[in-house]
Structure 1
Amino acid sequence: MFEEKASSCRFPDELVGLNLAFACFDAIIAILAFTQLARIHARNTQLGWTRQKVFHILIGFTNTGYFIYFVLSLVAACRGWLCWSYSCGFVAMAFPRILLFATFLLLLSFWVDLCHQADDEEEEDDEQGFLEALIQNSLNRPRSSLADRRLCYPFRLIHVGSRQKIVILVTLLVFLLMMTFSVLIWIGMEENPIDSSTVSRVYVDLFATAILLLGGALACYGFLLCRKMRNVRSERASSEIWKVAGLAIVSVISFTSSAFVALFTDIPVLYHWHELHIDGVYTSLLLILYYFIGSSVPSAFVLWVMRELPPMSMANTQEESTRVTFITENSARRPQNWTTSASSQNQASSRGSPI
C-alpha cells in the first residue's frame, strides 16, 4: 500500500520546520490532555465518563492524530509514498479534524441543554432554580449524581442525553462520509473518470461549511448562555460568564479563519504537495491559520477552561445522604412555636441561592 518511488526529500524547508513545530505543539497538548485525564480519574474513581473526561480524551486523540499526520507527511514526502498523495494522506488529514468537530459539537449540545433547560421535561425534577442550575451545570464544575446520570453518561449507567445522541449520530455520519470519499479517491488513483483532487476538494468544502456553521451556532448559544447567567448575582457566575464568552469568541475566530482558508485555498490538501504551487511565506501563514489557529488554539483553550480538578471523593456525600434521624420522646413534645420557627428557617435557607 505504501509503494515508494525513487525520490529525494524535496519537501520545502519552510514547510518542514512548520510541520515539526505543529507536531511538537500537538504532542504537548495531547500529553497534557491525557495526563489531566489520569489526574481527574485518580481524584475520584467512583465517577464514570463525565463530560470533563470525555472532552479531555477527545482533545487528546485529536492532537495525537494531528501529530501523526504532520510526522507522516514529512516521512511520506521524503520516501515518496504514492498512497500518501491520495487516500492515505486524505484519511490522516480528515480524521483528527472530525474529532475536533465532534468535540465542539458536543460542547454546543451542552450549551443548548442549558439554554433550553426550562423547557425540557428531563429537567423538571431539579429542585434548584433555573438560573442557579446554569451555574451548577458549568463546564468545569462537578455536578450532582442525578445531573451526571443525565448528561455525563458514565458507561456503567448506559444513559446518554438526547442531544448528545444527535452528536454521536452526526459524528458517525461525517466519518462514513469521509470513508466514502477516501474510497473514491483510492479508485481515482487508476485510469478512470474520477479525479481524486476534485473529490478531496468537494469533501474539504463541505466540511469547511459545517465548521463555519458550528462556529456560528457556538457564537449564538454562547451569547444566550451569557445573558441568562448574567442574572445570577455571584462571583462564580461572573467567572463562568467569562469562560463561556471566551470559548465562544475563540471558537468563532478559529473556525471562521480555518473555514475560509479551506474554502479558498488548497491548504487542507497539502499532502498532495508535489502537484500544488507552494509559496514558502504565503503558504506558511495559511498553514498557521488553518492548523494552529484553527485547531491547536481552541483545543488548548478548552483544556485551560476545564483545568480544575473534581473533589477527591464522594464518600462523605453518600454517607450524609444515608444518615437516619432519630426522634426522642422529649423532642416530640417541643412546643408548636419552635416547630414553626425551625420550618421557617429551613425555607429561608433553601431560598438563599442567588436568583
Structure 2
Amino acid sequence: MRKSFLFSYSGGADDWWNEIGGSKQWQSGPTYYILSASYALVSLVALVQLVRIQLRVPEYGWTIQKVFHLMNFLVNGLRAVLFGLYKSVLLIKPKALEMLLMDLPGLLFFSTYTLLVLFWAEIYHQARSLPTDKLRPAYYIINGFIYFTQVCIWIFIRVSRSPVAVEAARIFFSVISFGTALGFLIYGGRLFIMLRHFPIESRGRQKKLEEVGWVTGICCTCFLIRCLVLAVSAFDKDADVDVVNHPILNLIYYMLAEIVPSALVLFILRKVPPRRVSDQYQPIK
C-alpha cells in the first residue's frame, strides 16, 4: 500500500490515506473526471476570452495576449482529454510514452506562462529605455532548449528503461519550475516597483499595480509548488502524482499547481484591450 509524503505521519490520517489508496472506488471514481471537467471549464473560459479579444481588435493579428489565451485553451483542453481518458493514459506502456503524454502539457504550461514574463520584461525594458531586441529571441531559445532537452530525456527513458532517467525528468521539470518562479519574481517585482513609484496617480495605474502583484504572487506560488512536488517525487516513489492509486494527491496537486492558478490569472486578465492603439498591445512579429 502506498502513501504520500504529504501524509507520512502515523495515525488516523495515515489509515485514511491508505484506505483511499487501496480503494477501487476511489481509483475508478470521480476524482479524475473532476479534474477533467475542471480543466475543460478553464479551457472554455480561455477560448471565450480569446474570441472576445479577437472580436474587439481583429486588426492587430496574433498579439501576446491572444497567444497566451490560445495556449491556455490548448494546455487545459489537452489536460481535460488526458484525465478524461485516465484509465488508458496512466497505464500506457512503455513508460516513456506515458511520460510524454503527461509531461507535454506541463511543458506547454511553462511556455504559456513565460509569455507573461516576456510581456512584462518588454514593458519594463521599454519604460527604462533599455534594449528589447534580445528578449524574444531569448524566449524562443530558452523554450527550444527546454523542449530539446526533454525530448532527449524521453528518448533516454525509452532506450535505457532506467529509473534514473525518470528521476532526471522530474528533476529537470523541478528546475524549470523554479526558474519560471524566479522569472516572475524578478520581472513581476521590477514592474510592480516601477508602477508603485510612477509619479502620476490614476485609477488605471492602481489597477495595473494590483494586477501585476496578484499575477506575480499566484504564478510564483504555483511554480514553486510544482518545483517542490516534482523534486520530492524524483526521490520518493510514494510522492509520484501521475499514478492511478494516488487520486487525492493528483486532485490536490493539479488543482493547486495548474487549475486554480490558471482560473485566477484568466479572471484577473479578463479585461479586453481597447479598440484604439495601445503601446502595451503590440502584435507578435
| Class of the TM-score when normalised by the shorter of the 2 chains | 0.7 to 0.9
Seen in structure 2, the aligned counterparts of structure 1 residues 238 and 70 have a Cα distance that, compared at 3 Å, is: same
1:1-355 equivalent positions in 2, closer than 5 A: 12-16=24-28, 17-76=30-89, 81-83=92-94, 86-117=95-126, 118-121=128-131, 161-188=133-160, 194-195=161-162, 197-232=163-198, 233-265=201-233, 266=237, 270-271=241-242, 273=244, 278=245, 284=248, 286-312=249-275
**What is the alpha-carbon distance in structure 1 between the residues aligned to residue 25 and residue 135 of structure 2?**
46
Find the counterpart in structure 1 of residue 3 from structure 2: none
Q: CA deviation at 1:301?
A: 2.1
Matches of 1:312 and 1:94 in 2, distance apart?
A: 38
Please tell me the residue identity of whatever aligns with 2:265.
V
Rounded to whole Å, the distance in 2 between the matches of 1:210 and 1:254 is: 13
Q: 1:13–1:88: structure 2 CA closer, same or farther, 3 Å change rule?
A: farther
> How many Å separate the matches in 2 of 1:201 and 1:183?
14
Partner-residue secondary structure (3-state), 1:116: helix
TM-score by length of 1: 0.64
Distance 1:310 1:223, change over 3 A: closer
8 Å Cα contact 1:254/1:294 also seen in 2: yes
Deviation at 1:23, TM superposition (A): 0.7
1:213 Cα deviation from its structure 2 partner: 2.3
Tell me the distance in 1 between the aligned counterparts of 2:111 and 2:27. Answer: 28
Q: For residues 176 and 268 of structure 1, what CA distance do their matches in structure 2 show? A: 27
Q: TM-score, normalised by structure 2?
A: 0.78
d(CA) in 1 for partners of 2:136 and 2:25?
A: 43
Deviates more, 1:161-170 or 1:239-248: 161-170
Quote the Cα distance in structure 2 between the aligned partners of 1:203 and 1:296.
22
Helix, strand or coil for the counterpart of 2:60? coil
For residues 74 and 23 of structure 2, the distance between their equivalents in structure 1, rounded to whole angstroms, comes to: 27
1:93 and 1:11 mapped to 2: Cα distance? 23
Map of 1:343 onto structure 2? none
The residue identity in structure 1 corresponding to 2:25 is D
What letter matches 1:308 in structure 2? K
Shift of 1:270: 4.6
Cα deviation 1:135-165 (Å, max 9, x = unaligned):
xxxxxxxxxxxxxxxxxxxxxxxxxx53122
Q: Which has the larger radius of gyration?
A: 1
Aligned-pair identity (%): 20
| Match in the other structure for 1:335 | none
Distance 2:241 2:166 in 1: 11
Matched AA of 1:90: M
Aligned mates of 1:234, 1:72 — CA distance in 2? 49
Matched residue, 1:131: none
The residue identity in structure 2 corresponding to 1:58 is M
CA contact (8 A) 1:73 1:271 kept: no
- Alpha-carbon separation, structure 2, partners of 1:175 and 1:114: 26
Provide structure 1 residue ranges, at least 5 long, that are not aligned to the other structure. 1-9, 123-160, 189-193, 315-355
Return the alpha-carbon distance in structure 2 between the equivalents of residues 242 and 33 of structure 1: 21
| Count of aligned residue pairs for this structure pair | 249
After superposition, the C-alpha distances for 1:170-229 in whole angstroms (9 at most, x for unaligned) are 2122122222222222224xxxxx41x321221111111221122123123222211111
